[in-house]
Amino acid sequence: EPEVTQTPSHQVTQMGQEVILRCVPISNHLYFYWYRQILGQKVEFLVSFYNNEISEKSEIFDDQFSVERPDGSNFTLKIRSTKLEDSAMYFCASESPGSYGYTFGSGTRLTVV
Amino acid sequence: QKEVEQDPGPLSVPEGAIVSLNCTYSNSAFQYFMWYRQYSRKGPELLMYTYSSGNKEDGRFTAQVDKSSKYISLFIRDSQPSDSATYLCAMSASSGYSTLTFGKGTMLLVSP
């Protein structure tokens, strides 16, 4: 069964450093998303992306965040200057037109120290 | 009032029990309802997708939606230890390419 692949599975970074989280969505999917889940909290929407541009973003997705689809397969989330409160599981998801529901990746656990 | 409320549990049941998981919501714009299963430190996995009031069955799982009460349920029959996971309800205002709003998730533990 097709999968959404995320790398790395765990990243530890120092506060103030830049991180890039990588995702390979399912190949025929057109809609891409990032969500995050702080430990013990709800899964929260960050951003949606279609046709090489952001469609919607939450208030969490401030100027420190950016997304990119640099080629036909990868979808990245960059955090420019990480804060302690950015520590969370970050999930990439993709969706094909006419489908029901997303397919999520296994997530990247980001720990900011 | 929070948009989507879900009892976090944990809910502990013996193997073979019928499990009932529930969510309430306040936003009447939500029209599409999903249940995801999440194992520890893994991504959510879609179990059920419904968009009309009533019941939808898939194997041991039944999803129920009552839009008039803003209440959704997931029933698991003949529960198995492998069903032990966190169950997340999620909902959206539109189908396809839409933002999901999640409940906090209910942790289910099925003991052999």
**Encoding tokens for residue A49?**
């992306």
Cβ distance A90 to A105 under 8 Å?
no
Altogether, the residues listed in chain B come to a count of 112
Task: Report residue A52 CA to chain centroid gap.
Answer: 15
Residues of A in contact with B101 (CB under 8 A): 45
Q: In the 8-state DSSP scheme, what is residue A52?
A: T
More confident residue, A33 or B97: A33
Question: With the C-alpha atoms ordered B96, B98, B102, B107, is the resulting torsion angle positive or negative?
Answer: positive
pLDDT confidence of residue B70: 95
Of A95, A103, A106, the CB nearest to B97: A95
Q: Residue A110 forms beta bridges with which residues?
A: A11, A88
Which chain A residue lies closest to B51 (C-alpha atoms)? A100
Question: Percent of chain B beyond pLDDT 70?
Answer: 98
For B:56-85, CB contacts with A below 8 A are: none
- Interface residue of B97, B104, B107 to substitute, partner A, most A CBs within 10 Å: B97
Q: Count other Cβ atoms within 10 Å, centred on residue B83.
A: 19
| A107/B101 touch (CB, cutoff 8 Å), yes or no | no
Distance from CA of A6 to the nearest CA of B (A): 10
For the segment B76-96, the average pLDDT, to the nearest whole number, is 94
Q: What is the mean pLDDT of chain A?
A: 94
**pLDDT per residue as tens digits for the range A78-111:** 999 999 999 999 999 999 887 878 899 999 999 9
Distances (CA, A) of A33 to A36, B32, B89: 10, 18, 18
Q: Poorest-confidence range of A26-30, B1-5, B46-50?
A: B1-5
Model confidence band, residue A2 (pLDDT cutoffs 50, 70, 90): confident
Instruction: Please state, in angstroms and rounded to a whole number, the distance separating the CA atoms of residues B27 and B86.
Output: 23
Which residues does A contribute to its contact with B (CB < 8 Å)? 4, 6, 31, 35, 41-45, 48, 50, 55-56, 89, 91, 93, 95, 97-107, 109
Model confidence band, residue B41 (pLDDT cutoffs 50, 70, 90): confident
Cβ distance A24 to A73 under 8 Å?
yes
pLDDT confidence of residue A72: 77
Distance from CA of A71 to the nearest CA of B (A): 21
Residue A21 has pLDDT above 90, yes or no: yes
Q: How many CA atoms lie within 13 A of B35 on its CB side?
A: 27
| A32, amino acid identity | F
More confident residue, A71 or B78: B78
pLDDT confidence of residue B1: 57
pLDDT confidence of residue B40: 87
At residue B41, the 3 state secondary structure works out as: coil
Which chain B residue lies closest to A105 (C-alpha atoms)? B43
More confident residue, B70 or A100: B70
